[in-house]
Amino acid sequence: MTDSTLDRVARATPPRVARRIRGLSDRAIAWIFVAPTIILLLAVNIFPLIWTIYLSFTNYRANRPNAEVEWVGLRNYQRILSDPEIWQTMQATAHFLFWTLFFQVLIGFALAWLINQKFRGNNLWTTIIVLPMMLSPAVVGNFWTFLYQPQIGIFNNIISFFSGADPTSFSMIGDVRLAPWSIVIVDTWMWTPFVMLICLAGLRSIPDSIYEAAECDRASKWRQFWTITVPMVLPFLMLAVLFRGIENFKMFDLVVQLTGGGPGSTTELTSINLKREAFEKWRTGYASAYAVILFVTVFGLASIYVKALNRVKNR
Amino acid sequence: MSSYSITEPSPRSKWIAGILVVSYALITLIPLVWIIATGFKSSSDSIAYPPKVFFEPTLEGYVNLFTRQTRATPEQLAATPPTTWYEQIVHDNGMVISGPSRFGERFMNSVIIGFGSTFLSVFLGTLAAYAFSRYRIPLKDDLMFFILSTRMMPPIAVAIPIFLMFRAAGLSDTHAGMILLYTAVNLSLAVWLLKGFIDEIPREYEEAALIDGYTRFQAFVKVVLPQAATGIASTAIFCLIFAWNEYAFAVLLTSGTAQTAPPFIPTIIGVGGRDWPAVAAGATLFLVPVMVFTILLRKHLLRGITFGAVRK
Amino acid sequence: MKTKARLFAATALVGLSSLASTGAYAANLTLCWAAWDPANALIELSRDFEEQSGHSMSFEFVPWPNFADRMLNELNSRGQLCDLMIGDSQWIGLAAESGHYIQLNDFFDAEGISMDAFIPATVEGYAAWPKGSTNYWALPAFADVVGWTYRRDWFAREDLQAEFRELHGRDLDVPADLQELKEIAEFFQGREIDGRTVYGAALFTERGSEGITMGVTNVLYNFGFRYGTADNPYQLEGTVNSPGAVEGLEFYRALYECCTPPGSSDWYMSETIDAYRSGQVALQMNFAFIWPGVDQDANVGGDRSGYFTNPPGPDGHFAQLGGQGISVVSYSQNQDAALEYIKWFAQPEIQQRWWELGGFSALNDVVQADGFVDSQPFAQTFLDSMEIVQDFWAEPTYAELLLAMQNRVHRYVIAGEGTAQEALDALVRDWTEIFEDDGKM
């Protein structure tokens, strides 16, 4: 079949075009294929990044275009790193990042494993479970403020139905102890399906023959799970964590709509804090330094992580 | 598959797994069902205290979503009797329709920008992924990491330079500008997903084609692309979900002409407060295209994600 | 002084051609404002302008939470999107000092538009910079102020009246001061009415933009909080954190803790109205712009609701100013047509119609006309409230000043961190730093 298609293609390709394309060396094709991507990324990501790095050493304010721009050296960086409130937002981000990844990996993997038991209708239910991640995070955040309202929302009413507690006796967004969990719950609700999908892809990629071989060796199901399933899915899981981790480190839309960073600064994630500096206080230089610090942090963490990932993949 | 496979789970574990998965699905559906249901509530039912599970459905939310209204005096109302069902609904609330709302425009912008950037990211991503997968490219791992790193910058951080840059290039608040921007953000995911998938396609196919006298390019188009269709489909789903729903860039960089629906929906204001039924109606309608797209391509969804992590 | 020249040309043009004629050219004007109820009314109102002038109008309405970010970004980058801007009152300092708006004095003089024709507080609040000067950068467009809505039908109940009289020795009625307001809120908190638990008051507590500041100031001003002194506007120590101010902040927290519905920790205009409309609360703090909507509401409209101005406290009687003026953006290519619009908008007939459509006109001819106070049930309350307004800082650094206040107040009132004294002392430090950076101190 492949041959007949190719024959047809060969016949259909005008000789001149064929010659011209054939004339391209492998190296030329490689560069032609890669160049648009690299150029676009350089233009839309790297150029602004360089601009941001430059601004981070100045006192530039985007709301004072007429004011003189002064070179302030490392002052912006010093101010940020010595500001206790920024550490507080880092802490809030770390809490959010850790627990969302924890729950999403745990539930996502468990769901993928269960779906992979191939019960009847599993495809339909997979599609249903994936629905929340197709919603817009801003709309989701906005709507959950409504669901979390103790009087008119359903979240508290459902909890109270199962626990017997008065629905108005607690407030997910208003309580400093519950608010950090309120954002974890919504993000987990929304993005567990993403982790699940990738885990499921991993599970489906394991050839049956490996289990059959293990079965012949009389390995127990439990042992098979730990020696075959988990290691084979691990690279997938790690990639899911990498992408979720990057997304949640820069999480903005969902949380800003949900809590606005409150109560106080309990759920003020770094991106929300950064937005206040950049677009409300208009301290562009300062915000740029802040952005560079964040970028370096994620970049550093991610590069260590990707090294580990490559090791797991090539094991 | 043989009629009996030792890797086939037992009927009992299938049952248990099925029950657990279905209960999870039902629980996560509650907020979604609530959103959809709110779209069919009247304004006062939507904020009823305590919340109403059973209610009389109305299309008020959808009418409010698509129209702009002004308050009218009783005399004006009497002078303009409603002629259609939607005018009737508005009329009953003491308002008259004064024109279409901007939801339609915003929705179309989302369609153009969402699908446009999805196409472009998948197109460019496939080319780049193929090159990364098949050729010796200097500093390949570093380039791959560079591509990933472009996703790490918080949108807020680059919004100001991009805003100024777009303005200089005449791209601000244009469809083309937003398509390029979303494409750039999505390329990292597209290249990573697709490289993984193309890695899995045996090179022997192309080699056979080359021996038969086809060029590399022909081999790519006629051999690799059809094989990669599954990977391309699942990548397209993820790219569309991102581009469709993106908020931070949309709210900071666009206004009249190119603004998409996500910044618009949460802020639909009715008389006095937020118009929850219209917000819910907007959210529901906005979900439909991505949902249909995903359902159409769903059989590719799982097989398409490999990240090159499958061991041979 | 290109702007001046253009301005002169503009005034000449407007002066020569009557508004009824189509004029030499037809411009497409874009008006920028927040996306809310009054904006829809303005579209309706502007049809008349389109007919008369031959210009066409486009509208760019940005949702409140992003309004300031989006529009200030537009102005700062000298964008030409907006020809006319109905910008928030606090932006005036920035817009005037950075040259985002054109100065309107010459135009007003040429057209015979007098600022004396508008409610004085709106001229001071929306049009003048520096404050107290006669440099005008806007025409008052939408007058707004924080006031209160209450459930008249609940107040009227015989049993509740009797119980309240027993408890406090007076009728259950509109509160005469903030202390009485708190007593009423306490009285309703947790009470069973028509089978549902209801609560005292819905307050502004929002964290993300400006909510809690717009709420707490209504109490702070009346307890003695001041923005500097008469001779030194930047004298923060002892005014911002005066003993009265500390007491006021404590009062707001006490009110939040004793008398608000559970979960009302991040509420602003829209959430408070939801709580009120759904019958959760007896009292609601909100801007006047919602009153027409309350009056027409199916659940709480008509006789069931009443309105009152923000009650006085031990050291003053003020209410937080809202509202906006309309300005011409200096980067606009259509300044002439934009000025024509302002001229049209300032006409008494148009202002009258603006009020009828739900726009709160600031023109004296409208608000002092016979029959105005009877035209709407809230008209008198609106007029009284406009007499006592006080605005937040309108300095070029207002956004930073606001963010600092949001942060300090939300932490104390909602998150319960520290004491009121500590919160206001910290606010003085933050504000001092901001003014020092700006070279004002």
Question: Residue A249: which CATH number?
Answer: 1.10.3720.10
Q: For residue A170, which residues of chain C lie inside 8 Å, CB to CB? A: 262
Q: Which domains does chain B have, with CATH numbers?
A: 43-101 (no CATH), 104-263+287-304 (1.10.3720.10)
> Measured between beta carbons, which residues in chain C are less than 8 angstroms from residue A172?
263
pLDDT tens for A131-144 read 999 999 988 998 99
Is A168 contained in some domain?
yes
C360 and C398 housed in the same domain: no
Residues C337 and C306 in one domain: no
Q: Same domain for A151 and A191?
A: yes
Among B47, B48, B70, whose Cβ lies nearest the Cβ of C41?
B70
Q: What is the dihedral of CA B292, B297, B303, B309, to 10 degrees?
A: -70
Task: Give B 21-80 residues with CB within 8 A of chain A.
Answer: 21-22, 24-25, 28-32, 34-35, 47-51
- CB contact under 8 Å between B271 and C297, yes or no, is yes
Instruction: Give all chains having 3 or more CB-to-CB distances under 8 Å with chain C.
Output: A, B
Q: Does residue C138 sit in the same domain as residue C153?
A: no
Of the candidates B141, B131, B257, B128, which has an alpha carbon nearest to the alpha carbon of residue B186? B128
**Cβ-contact C206, C267 below 8 angstroms:** yes
Q: Does A166 touch chain C (CB under 8 A)?
A: no
Q: Is B241 on the interface with A (CB under 8 A)?
A: yes
Does residue C223 share a domain with residue C285?
yes
Task: Give the model's pLDDT for residue C350.
Answer: 96
The answer to whether residues A121 and A240 belong to one domain is yes
Cβ <8 Å between B272 and C40: no
CA–CA dist C303, C193 (Å, integer): 18
| ipTM metric | 0.88
CATH of residue C20: 3.40.190.10
| pLDDT recorded at residue B306 | 65
Q: Which of residues 37-76 of C touch A (CB under 8 A)?
A: 68-69, 72-73, 76
Do A208 and A310 sit in the same domain of this protein? yes
Helix, strand or coil, per DSSP, at residue C173: coil
**A45 vs C382 pLDDT, higher one:** C382
Do residues C258 and C378 share a domain?
A: no
Contact B267, A145 (CB under 8 A): no
Flag whether A163 is in a domain.
yes
Contact by Cβ (8 Å): A237, A313? no
Q: Which two tokens stand for residue B247?
A: 């908020």
Tell me the three state secondary structure of residue A236.
Answer: helix
Residues of B within 8 A of C30 (CB-CB) are: 256
B99-116 pLDDT, tens per residue? Answer: 888 899 999 999 999 999
Question: Has residue A8 got a pLDDT over 90?
Answer: no
Nearest-neighbour CA in chain C from B104: distance (Å): 15
C228: left (phi over 0), alpha (psi -120 to 50) or beta: left
pLDDT of residue C10: 43
**CA–CA separation, A68 vs A66, rounded Å?**
6
In Å, how far from its chain's centre is CA B203? 33
Which residues in chain B have their CB less than 8 angstroms from residue C60's CB? 255-256
Take residue A7 and report the two structure tokens written for it. Answer: 């024959």
Round to whole Å and give the CA distance between A127 and B32: 14
Residue with more model confidence, A261 or C150? C150
pLDDT tens for chain C, 441 residues long, are 344 444 444 444 444 444 444 445 788 999 999 888 888 889 989 999 999 999 999 988 887 877 887 888 888 878 888 999 999 998 999 999 989 999 999 999 999 999 999 999 999 999 999 988 999 999 999 999 999 999 999 999 999 999 999 999 999 999 999 999 999 999 999 999 999 999 999 999 999 889 999 999 999 999 999 999 988 989 999 999 999 999 999 999 999 999 999 999 999 988 999 999 999 999 999 999 999 889 988 889 999 999 999 999 999 999 999 999 999 999 999 999 999 999 999 999 999 999 988 899 999 999 999 999 999 999 999 999 999 999 999 998 888 999 999 999 999 999 999 999 999 999 999 999 999 988 888
pLDDT (tens digit, 9 = 90+) per residue, B15-31?
999 999 999 999 999 99
* pLDDT band, residue B137 (cuts 50/70/90): confident
A4 has pLDDT over 50: no
C305 contacts C107 by C-beta, under 8 angstroms = no
- Contact (CB<8Å) A274/B132: no
Give a yes or no: residue A1 inside a domain. Answer: yes
Based on the structure, what is the number of domains in chain C?
2
Cα R_g (chain C), whole angstroms = 22
Residue with tokens 């590719």: B300
Window B:252-281, CB contacts with A under 8 Å: 252, 261-263, 265-266, 276, 279-280
- For residue B165, what pLDDT is reported? 85
Kindly report the three-state secondary structure assignment for every residue of A238-297: HHHHHHHHHHHHCCCHHHHHHCCCCCCCCCCCHHHHHHHHHHHCCCHHHHHHHHHHHHHH
Model confidence band, residue A62 (pLDDT cutoffs 50, 70, 90): confident
A229, A300: one domain: yes
Domain count within chain A: 2
Domain contains A65:
no
Q: How far apart are CA B34 and CA B30, in angstroms?
A: 6
Q: What is the residue range of C63's domain?
A: 2-143+323-390
pLDDT at A15 over 60: no
Q: What is the pTM of this model?
A: 0.88
Task: Tell whether C406 is within 8 A of chain A (Cβ).
Answer: no
**Max CA pair span of chain A:** 79
Q: Would you say residue A277 lies in a domain? A: yes
Residues C429 and C399 in one domain: yes
Dump pLDDT digits (tens) for B285-298: 999 999 999 888 88
Q: What token pair was written down for A298?
A: 């994620």
Q: Do A278 and B307 touch (CB under 8 A)?
A: no
Using the Cβ of A62 and the Cβ atoms of chain B, whether some distance falls under 8 Å is answered with yes
Answer yes or no: do B274 and C74 touch at CB < 8 A: no
DSSP per-residue letters across chain B: --S--TTSPPHHHHHHHHHHHHHHHHHHHHHHHHHHHHTTS-HHHHT-SSPPSS----SHHHHHHHEEEEE--HHHHHHS---SHHHHHHHHTTEEEEEE-SHHHHHHHHHHHHHHHHHHHHHHHHHHHHHHHHS--TTHHHHHHHHHHTTTS-HHHHHHHHHHHHHHHT-TT-HHHHHHHHHHHHHHHHHHHHHHHHHHS-HHHHHHHHHTT--HHHHIIIIIHHHHHHHHHHHHHHHHHHHHH--HHHHHH--TTT--STTTGGG-B-SSSB-HHHHHHHHHHHHHHHHHHHHHTHHHHHHH--TT----
- Please report the residues numbered 205 through 264 in chain C whose beta carbons come closer than 8 angstroms to any beta carbon of chain B: none
CB–CB of B266 and A51 under 8 A? Answer: no
The per-residue pLDDT of chain A, averaged, comes to: 86
Statement to judge: residues A8 and A113 lie in one domain: no
> What was the pLDDT predicted at A137?
92
Tell me the sheet residues that pair with B100: B67
- β-partners of residue C400 are none
- Give the lowest-confidence range in A193-207, B267-281, C20-34, C401-415: C20-34
Q: For residue C62, give the chain B residue with the closest CA.
A: B255
- Residue B197's pLDDT is what? 85
Residue in A280, A283, A284, A286 to test binding to C, most C beta-carbons within 10 Å: A280
Mutation target among C207, C256, C264, C299 for the A interface, most CBs of A within 10 A: C207
Do residue C271 and residue B273 have CB atoms under 8 angstroms apart? yes
- Let me know if residue A115 belongs to a domain: yes
pLDDT band for position A7 (cuts 50, 70, 90): low
Q: Are residues C139 and C162 in the same domain?
A: no
C260 conformational bin, left if phi > 0, alpha if psi -120 to 50, beta if neither: beta
Who among A168, A256, A260 is closest to C262 (CB)? A168
- Strand spans (E) along C250-318: 281-287, 305-309
Rounded Cα distance, B268 and B283, in Å? 11
Domain identity same for A94 and A160: yes
- CB contacts of A126 in chain B (<8 Å) are 298, 302
For residue C180, how many other CB atoms are within 10 A of its CB?
15
User: Is the residue at A178 inside a domain?
Assistant: yes
Q: Is residue A259 over pLDDT 80? A: yes
**Residue A195 near residue A105, CB atoms below 8 Å:** yes
Do C275 and C267 form a contact (C-beta atoms < 8 A)? Answer: yes
Closest partner residue to C77 among B43, B69, B164, by Cβ? B164
Mean pLDDT of A62-86: 86
Q: Answer yes or no: are the C-beta atoms of B144 and A39 closer than 8 Å.
A: no
Same-domain pairing of A142 and A240: yes
pLDDT, tens only, A161-181: 888 888 888 899 989 999 999
C-alpha angle A291-A276-A73 in degrees, rounded to nearest 5: 45
The angle subtended at Cα B237 by Cα B232 and Cα B241, nearest 5°, is: 145
- Cβ neighbourhood burial of C299 (10 Å; 0-12, 13-18, 19+): middle
Cα–Cα distance, B41 to C48 (Å, whole number):
36
* C166 and C126 fall within a common domain: no
**Distance from the A150 Cα atom to the nearest Cα atom in chain C, whole angstroms:** 6
Tell me, yes or no, whether A60 lies in a domain. Answer: no
- For residues A18 and A143, membership in a common domain is answered with no
Domain match, C139 and C189 both = no
Domain region containing A251: 74-314
Q: How far is B125 from chain A (nearest CA, A)?
A: 7
Do residues C58 and C175 both lie within one domain?
Answer: no
